């Protein structure tokens, strides 16, 4: 098992790095060449910038049993289809039971934004509780995985 992180603008990179090191798991951060990223524990894979370039690289190199950290529901759906695990930066695990409703929610939000009827404020500021919840859920996901 490895942990792959869709690292472009991901607020939990350091938490993932700490947990991966604690569990002695290989860690790969993926970002495009518009971002500068370094890690004292994991590997950093930089791909040429382009529409969904990081997403496609994750799918290309991911293997069954890997854990992927992403906020992109589309990436999560593809990851699940390859037998990988996926977790959102909020700590919510993507599963075969919730991915369809999440994708539908994303679609409906996009339609509302296009119609001009959506006046959302965007995500709330990240808190220490958010970080703790993500850490706990990532550890739970690692420990329930039979490949550890």
Supply 96's token pair.
């075969």
**Which domains, and CATH codes, for the chain?**
3-144 (3.40.50)
Rounded to two decimals, what is the model's pTM? 0.85
Distances (CA, A) of 85 to 10, 81, 114, 143: 17, 9, 32, 12
Strands 85-87 and 93-94: antiparallel
- Cα(99)–Cα(76) distance, integer angstroms: 8
Report percent pLDDT > 90 for the chain.
60
List pLDDT tens digits, range 23-73. Answer: 999 999 999 998 889 999 999 999 998 888 999 999 999 999 999 999 888
């Amino acid at each position: 098992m490895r942990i792959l992180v869709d690292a472009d603008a991901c607020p939990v990179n350091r938490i993932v790095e700490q947990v991966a090191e604690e569990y002695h798991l290989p860690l790969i951060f993926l970002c495009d060449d518009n971002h500068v990223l370094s890690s004292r524990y994991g590997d950093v894979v930089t791909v040429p910038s382009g529409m969904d370039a990081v997403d496609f690289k994750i799918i290309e190199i991911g293997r069954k049993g890997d854990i992927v950290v992403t906020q992109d529901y589309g990436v999560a759906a593809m990851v699940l289809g390859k037998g990988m695990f996926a977790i959102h930066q909020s700590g919510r695990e993507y599963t075969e039971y919730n991915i369809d409703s999440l994708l539908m929610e994303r679609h409906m939000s996009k339609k509302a934004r296009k119609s001009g009827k959506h006046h959302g404020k965007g995500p709330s500021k990240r808190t220490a509780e958010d970080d703790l919840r993500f850490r706990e859920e990532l550890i739970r996901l690692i420990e329930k995985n039979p490949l550890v």
